Amino acid sequence: MEFNLIEKQQEFLKLLEKQGKSFNTVKNYKADLQCFNGFLVHKQQHLKLRSFSPTQVQEYSQFLDTKYGSSNSVRRRVQALRLFFDYLLGQNLFSENPLKKMAVSPKVLDLPRPTPFPEVIKTYQLLKNKVATSEGLIQLVSARNVIIFHLIYGAGLKVSDMAKLHFSSILKEQKGYRVLVDHPKRDPYSIPLPAIFNSDFQFYKTHYLQFLKKEELEIEELLFNANPYKILAGGLSPRGTELFFEDLRKIVKSEMTAKSLRQSCIFKWLNYNVNHTTIKEWMGVTPSYSLDLYLEELKKDPSGKVYKDLEDE
C-alpha cells in the first residue's frame, strides 16, 4: 500500500503531542524526519512510500555519516526514524521495522555545563525581589517561579517531573519538606528540599489557595499556567517551564536553562558528599548510570564547581 509520507509524519507528531511530549521534543522529531525526507529527495525519490529496503537503509546510514560529524546527531536521527517506522508498523503499513537492524555508534554523553553558582544566587535574588515588589496574580506567578527554581536547583527535578506534581507531592517532615516523584515505570522516591524552601513554599501555598478560593477554582496541581489576567489551568507543561526560562535568560543575561540549573544541583550534591547511589536515585536514572563526567569536571575545576544550598550562603 502506497501512502503519503508527509501526512503520516504529521499524524505521528500529533500523537507525540497528545502523549505529553514537550514542544522542543516534538520540534526535534520533526527536524529529524525532515532529514529523512531530504535524503529521499536527494535520491530522487518522491515522498510516497511502498517500502524501504535494506539497501536504502544502508544508503541512509551513509548519508547521515557524511552529513553530520557528530555521532550523537546521527544516533538521534536514526532513533527518530526508527520510532516513526514503529508507528507505521502499528498501522500495518509495514510488516517489520526496516531500521531495526541499522547499527549506530554508541551514544556520547555531553559534558555537564552547569549554571555558575554566582548566576544561581543572582537568579534566586531576582526572583525573590519580583515577589516582594509585585501583587495580585503577578505576585503569585512570581512566587510560583521561585518554587520552580527550588524544585530544580534544590531537588534536581526534570521539567517533566514538575508537570505532574500535586500539593500532596510535597511531604512535610520534622524540619522541612521532601518532594515525592512518582514515575509510571519505576517505584516512587522522594528528594529532600533545602531549608530555604520552607518559607518560600508557605508563602506560595497560602497565597495560591487564597487566590483559588477567591476565583472559585478547583486545582490540585502544585504549579499552574496563567496569562497576565487569570489562571488558565492547573499544572505547568514542560513547554511552559521552557518559556519561563526563555524569559528569565533575557532578564538575567545568562545562558541558564532548566538542564544547566539541574546540573548545578548535581554538582551541589557531589560537594556535599551525597552517596552516589542516592544521587542516581534522585536523578531518576538507573544504578548503571555513570557520574564519571561530573566527577572529572569537578577534578578539573574544583573551585569553579563549589555549589551550596542557598541558606548556607
In the chain, domain spans: 3-90, 117-312
Distance (Å) of CA 300 to CA 130, 137, 271, 296: 36, 45, 14, 6
pLDDT tens digits, 1-10: 567 888 989 9
Cα–Cα distance for residue pair 26/254, rounded to 1 Å: 25
Question: Has domain 117-312 been given CATH number 1.10.443.10?
Answer: yes
pLDDT of amino acid 296:
92
Coil/strand/helix, residue 91: coil
Report the b/e string of 2-21 with b at 16+ CB within 10 A: eeebeebbeebbeebeeeeb
**What's 3-90's CATH class?**
mainly alpha
Distance (Å) of CA 303 to CA 81, 101, 227, 271, 287: 43, 46, 41, 11, 28
- Residue 213, CA atoms < 13 Å, CB-side half-sphere: 6
Q: Are 154 and 309 in contact (CB under 8 A)?
A: yes
Residues of the chain with pLDDT under 70: 1-2, 46-48, 69-70, 103-109, 184-185, 312-313
C-alpha cell at 210: 487564597
Residue recorded with cell 506534581:
165
Q: Are 274 and 268 in contact (CB under 8 A)?
A: no
* pTM of the entire predicted model: 0.71
pLDDT of amino acid 72:
73
Helices (H) and strands (E) in the chain, counts: 12, 7
pLDDT tens digits, 117-151: 999 999 999 999 999 999 999 999 999 999 999 99
pLDDT of amino acid 166:
95
pLDDT of amino acid 163:
87
